[in-house]
């Protein structure tokens, strides 16, 4: 085993330790450093192989929980995602060496390019971005309201690159008048100073009380018709218990309703009666069927306090090989290896903003004033919260807060629910909105506009595989961040910067 492979493995382990459940977030700031040394001066094929190995090990370490769903699928995802690390090495190999400070900025720009591609291409899987490792480091992540998560990834790689180039200069006995580390510390200082100001910011506005319920239904019971009555009874009980705290909205997890709402009349009637009995709006996840050709959707349905269906959102971004089979003519064989049947859901099309009215009255009957407020929010189902542009579109459409309903029971007692919540934290900061999460099991919690988890469903210091509910007041502040308005401009700038050096290398090659 050559020292380059040892360095690649070291980077993988440092990166893994930066994420849940280890949460050694400070390691991310040096985690890519061994890989940069391993790639230094290597031929393209060798560099690609070394970095691909690091990527495979990293994604195996943070995505091992996929084994609870499918072993072949886990292997396929890990091997595929590792290619993006190989791509990072190929870009560096092709465009470097570039001199001086340009190299220091080029390395993180190339990394952001790689992260953007894996978050976008072929449906995208922006899970465990380097930025997500800092989800607990509130001052660091506040720049996401300008740059998105990619800006935080850039900052981390900038530190790694500065240390790498400093060591190279020491070895070559060449020193800059203004050291790389000094420039990096200044940039980091400005970023953290901005973050501290944002963390100290006090958000004001109207408040509403929201409750989330977590049913903790085992996967082997969830779609068994024999347990449908038991499941619905459990959610009815949790809903009635949570209603005692007078919430304005009660949220159930993804597909928590054990049947097709609308199609199954008895089930629909029970939901209507429940909302009417607690006199509270209920957002419930359920499969639905629509159209003459019986298209099926993974939906969120909002019931009014008098039992009416106000509106419905159909999940737009479906999980490939889980909720649908892409390219059936090619991948039909996959169904033979799937541990459970692959769904046949259709994607929704509308970026729905739910609206409902709440009333506030005086406790003094003789005063008799009444305040009516309109509440607007949108729902991200399952892993839709990993796509920043989806959350951004909902907020641009008028959503004052976001809801994520999910079911992380698939992944057992693992780090997956905590990694998933990291994505919601960045959606909150990017758009300066509250994100309320309701999971069948997972991290059912409240995230404020600064990315802080303010409360969560828990029991005996446990958050996974428990049932319960939690209510909390959230502040709705009408804000519009730079990121909400303009999206991933920072990531696009990094891509253009990377392409510039690639094209510049081509011109140099022709002249040579």
- pTM value surpassing 0.85: yes
Q: What is the pLDDT of residues 95-148, one digit of tens each?
A: 776 777 888 999 999 999 999 999 999 889 999 999 999 999 999 999 999 999
Do 390 and 242 fall into the same domain?
Answer: yes
User: Is 254 noted as a catalytic residue in this protein?
Assistant: yes
User: If DSSP codes are grouped into helix, strand and coil, which group holds residue 92?
Assistant: helix
Q: HEC profile for 172-217?
A: HCCCCCCCHHHHHHHHHHHHHHHHHHHHHCCCCCEEEEEEEEECCC
3-state SS track over 117-178: HHHHHHHCCCCCCHHHHHCCCHHHHCCHHHHCHHHHHHHHHHHHHHHHHHHHHHHHCCCCCC
> Which has the higher per-residue pLDDT, 133 or 294?
133
What is the total residue count of the chain?
Answer: 512
What are the tens digits of pLDDT across the range 170-221? 887 777 777 999 999 999 999 999 999 999 999 988 899 999 999 999 988 8
User: Are 123 and 55 within one domain?
Assistant: yes
Find the helix packing angle between 44-63 and 3-17, rounded to 10°: 30
Tell me the percentage of the chain whose pLDDT exceeds 90: 70
Distance of CA 314 to the CA centre of its chain: 19
Domain identity same for 375 and 424: yes
Structure tokens that stand for 382 in this block: 């399952």
User: Does 423 lie in the same domain as 309?
Assistant: yes
| Of 379, 382, 423, 445, catalytic | 382
Residue 365 counted as domain residue? yes
Catalytic residue among 115, 254, 323, 463: 254
102 SS3 class: helix
Say whether 494 is catalytic.
Answer: no
- 248 and 397 in a common domain: yes
Among this protein's residues, is 463 annotated catalytic?
Answer: no
Q: For residue 282, what are the contacts with CB-CB under 8 A and spacing of at least 6?
A: 239, 249, 250, 251, 252, 271, 274, 275, 302, 303
Domain that holds residue 187: 3-201+488-511
Kindly state the tokens that stand for 55.
Answer: 């990527």
Cα separation, 333 vs 97, whole angstroms: 45
The closest alpha carbon to 107, from 170, 160, 41, 172, belongs to 160
For residue 381, give the nearest of 419, 413, 408 by alpha carbon: 408
Residues 229 and 362 in one domain: yes
Q: Which of 167-171, 251-255, 295-299 has the lowest mean pLDDT?
A: 167-171
> What CATH number is associated with residue 237?
3.60.110.10
Check whether residue 431 and residue 301 sit in a common domain.
yes
The per-residue pLDDT for range 1-51, each reduced to its tens digit, is: 588 999 999 999 999 999 999 999 999 999 999 999 999 989 999 999 999
Same domain, 311 and 180: no
Annotated active-site residue in 115, 222, 234, 315: 315
Q: Average of pLDDT values for 295-313?
A: 94
Cα three-residue angle 357-363-367, rounded to 5 degrees: 95
Across 37-41, 129-133, 157-161, 248-252, least confident range? 37-41
Q: Mean pLDDT across the chain, nearest whole number? A: 90
Query: 283, 274 in Cβ contact below 8 A?
Result: no
Other C-beta atoms closer than 10 Å to the C-beta of 429 total 29
What is the helix (H) or strand (E) element at residue 10, kind and residue range? helix 3-17
Q: Is residue 48 part of a domain?
A: yes
**Cα distance between residue 314 and residue 324, in whole Å:** 14
């Amino acid at each position: 085993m050559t020292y380059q492979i040892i360095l690649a493995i070291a980077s993988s382990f440092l990166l893994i330790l930066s994420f849940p459940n280890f949460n050694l977030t400070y390691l991310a700031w040096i985690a890519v450093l061994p890989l940069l040394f391993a790639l230094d001066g290597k031929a393209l094929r060798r560099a690609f192989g070394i970095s691909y190995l690091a990527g495979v090990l990293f994604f195996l370490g943070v995505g091992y929980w996929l084994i609870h769903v499918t072993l072949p699928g886990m292997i396929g995802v890990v091997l595929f995602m590792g290619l993006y690390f190989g791509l990072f090495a190929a870009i560096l190999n092709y465009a470097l060496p570039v001199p001086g400070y340009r190299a220091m900025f080029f390395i993180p720009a190339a990394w952001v390019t790689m992260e953007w591609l894996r978050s976008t291409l072929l449906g995208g899987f922006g899970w465990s971005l380097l930025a997500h490792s800092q989800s607990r480091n509130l001052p660091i992540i506040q720049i996401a309201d300008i740059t998105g998560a990619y800006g935080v990834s850039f900052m981390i790689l900038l530190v790694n690159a500065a240390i790498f180039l400093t060591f190279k200069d020491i070895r070559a006995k060449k020193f800059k008048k203004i050291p790389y580390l000094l420039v990096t510390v200044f940039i980091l200082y400005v970023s953290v100073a901005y973050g501290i100001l944002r963390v100290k910011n006090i958000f004001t506005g109207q408040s509403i009380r929201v409750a989330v319920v977590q049913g903790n239904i085992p996967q082997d019971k969830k779609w068994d018709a024999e347990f449908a009555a038991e499941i619905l009874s459990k959610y009815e009980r949790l809903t009635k218990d949570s209603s005692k705290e007078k919430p304005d909205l009660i949220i159930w997890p993804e597909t928590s309703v054990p049947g097709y709402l609308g199609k199954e009349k008895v089930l629909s009637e029970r939901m209507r009666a429940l909302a009417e009995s607690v006199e509270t709006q209920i957002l419930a996840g359920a499969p639905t069927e629509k159209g003459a050709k019986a298209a099926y959707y993974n939906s969120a349905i909002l019931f009014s306090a008098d039992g009416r269906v106000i509106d419905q959102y159909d999940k737009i971004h479906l999980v490939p090989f889980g909720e649908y089979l892409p390219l059936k003519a090619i991948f039909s064989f996959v169904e033979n290896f799937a541990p459970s049947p692959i769904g046949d859901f259709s994607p929704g099309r509308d970026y729905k903003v739910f609206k409902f009215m709440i009333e506030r009255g005086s406790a003094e009957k003789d005063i008799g004033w009444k305040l009516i407020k309109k509440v607007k929010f949108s729902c991200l189902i399952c892993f839709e919260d990993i796509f920043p542009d989806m959350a951004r579109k909902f907020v641009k459409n008028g959503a004052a807060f976001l809801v994520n309903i999910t079911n992380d029971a698939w992944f057992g007692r693992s780090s997956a629910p905590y990694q998933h919540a990291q994505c919601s934290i960045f959606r909150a900061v990017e758009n300066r909105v509250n994100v309320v999460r309701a999971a069948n099991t997972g991290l059912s919690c409240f995230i404020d506009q600064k990315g802080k988890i303010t409360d969560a469903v828990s029991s005996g210091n446990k958050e996974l595989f428990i049932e319960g509910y939690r209510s909390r007041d959230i502040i709705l502040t009408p804000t519009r961040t730079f990121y909400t308005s303009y999206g991933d401009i920072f990531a696009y700038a990094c891509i253009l910067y990377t392409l510039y050096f690639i094209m510049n290398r081509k011109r140099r090659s022709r002249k040579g």
